[in-house]
Amino acid sequence: MDWTVGKMDAFIIKGKSSLSGEVDIHGAKNSALPILAATLLSGGVCVLENCPELSDVENAIEILKSLGCKVRREADRVIVDSESVSTCRVEPELMHKIRSSIVFMGALIGRTGCAHLSFPGGCELGPRPIDIHINSLKRLGVVIDEKHGHFSCTTPNGVNGVTLNLPFPSVGATENIIMAAVTSQGTTKIHNAAREPEIVDLANFLNRCGANIYGAGEGVITIDGVHQLHGCTHRIIPDRIEAATYMAAAAVTGSTITLNNVISDHIEPVYYVFREAGCSIRTYKNKLLIQSPERLKRVKLIRTLVYPGFPTDAQAPVMAMLTVANGTSMFIETIFQNRYKHVDELIKMGANIKTEERVAVVEGVKSLYGAKVAATDLRSGAALVIAGLAAKGETTVTNVYHIDRGYEQLTENLRKLGADIYRTTIGE
């Protein structure tokens, strides 16, 4: 896939089709990105199975190649040989392509003892500080010199295990600390660590490579430094946010669909919202069946929280779904400062939403109407697709390159389920 093409691509959706059938959930973007960075630590050949084909993932692969790794893709497997890493410098153009490139900081420090990279900066979701990453790495003995958004990280006295208490359980900071610490001297303890399933996946991958990481998925993670790692084969966990997005697609169209390749424990934090809205959810092994009523009910309160709370990444798609529910739903976004950019676009489609700072009040309307709307970030783009599926008439979603960052074959999958959606190229 040529990802540069996506810049001018749009999705055209004719709403009101009912969905049915099955959809296969892909590997998790937010697992694949840190694990790709972590392949640097192995110094050998790593085979990542179930690795999604997304522009963010391909950009992470470009960074690995620029560092001297040999990388190739065979269908859903990505094979990384990181034996011949030749530099610890990532060029700013590559850093800026993906926000999560910051996890290369910990991985490069762990592998080479140095990292020269620039900060990806703020983003559509508001300011994205990295103070917790920087302060924690400094405590591990990393000397960090920052000038104009460029970071030079060196380890004149090596990386040394220490006990850290994070002020907030940041996902990215927890990943950076783990990666910097796996090959350190001594033991590192992370108190108030992030507990997201993607952290557990990263730890499982690294342990398969020979690391000694305990407690991932719990509040305290312990890392006993080891001298060296080796390659391994690892299967990336399914994407819980992609799953929640397809659930919203089923719910908003009053449909019954089955999701294949899910880990239901990981999606459980969103169940109460769908159930309160009137959907029934049944799981069996790695399958999830969602049945939806003709009209959804309102959900009293959805507060985004760190795992195992309701995920911020599902907030926008679920809000789109509740715009047509019977009654008033309320959201409180506690994780990001500015994650309501989809609201203005949903209002263009007839939604009745009021926001004030971190609160959004959604008064359900009988129907949305097709309109030309623009994705402002990945999840806002997904929300507009959900809204388009429920709307009367035709919706055009532009800027779909945002959606390509995190949803593989979204239009193809929805079409297979019965939606009337296709991708087209439009003039700028």
Q: How many residues does the chain have?
A: 428
Give, as ranges, the residues between 184 and 203 that touch ligand EPU (CB under 6 A).
Answer: none
- C-beta closer to ligand EPU: residue 30 or 376: 30
Token pair belonging to 210: 């020979």
For the CB of residue 427, give the shortest distance to ligand EPU in the complex, in Å.
Answer: 28
128 binds ligand EPU (CB under 6 A): yes
For the CB of residue 312, give the shortest distance to ligand EPU in the complex, in Å.
Answer: 5
211-240 in b/e burial notation, b at 16+ Cβ within 10 A?
Answer: bebebbbeeebbbebeeebebbebbbbbbb
Token pair belonging to 254: 């009053």
189 contacts 221 by C-beta, under 8 angstroms: yes
Of 39-47, 128-136, 184-192, 278-286, which segment contacts ligand EPU by CB under 6 A? 128-136
| Binding-residue pattern over the window 362 to 401 for ligand EPU, x denoting contact by CB under 6 A | ----------------xx----------------------
- List CB contacts of 357: < 8 A, sequence separation 6 or more: none
Site size with ligand EPU, rule: CB under 6 A: 21
Residue 18: in which H helix or E strand, if any?
none
| Binding-residue pattern over the window 297 to 316 for ligand EPU, x denoting contact by CB under 6 A | ---------------xx---
Of 79-87, 122-130, 227-235, 388-396, which segment contacts ligand EPU by CB under 6 A? 122-130
In 3D space, the residue among 394, 265, 243 whose CA is nearest the CA of residue 318 turns out to be 243
357 binds ligand EPU (CB under 6 A): no
Residue whose tokens read 């783009």: 381
Of 18-26, 126-134, 242-250, 368-376, which segment contacts ligand EPU by CB under 6 A? 126-134
Q: Would you call 232 a catalytic residue per the annotation?
A: no
Give, as ranges, the residues between 28 and 57 that touch ligand EPU (CB under 6 A).
Answer: 30, 33
Residue 258, CA distances (Å) to 19, 299, 322, 366 in order: 10, 23, 21, 26
Point out the catalytic residue in the list 123, 209, 232, 279: 123
Task: Identify the residue among 118, 170, 255, 315 touching ligand EPU (CB under 6 A).
Answer: 170
Q: How far apart, in whole angstroms, are the C-alpha atoms of residue 121 and residue 348?
A: 30
Largest CA distance in the chain: 64
Catalytic residue positions?
123
The residues binding ligand EPU (CB under 6 A) are 30, 33, 100, 128-133, 168, 170-173, 312-313, 335-336, 378-379, 406
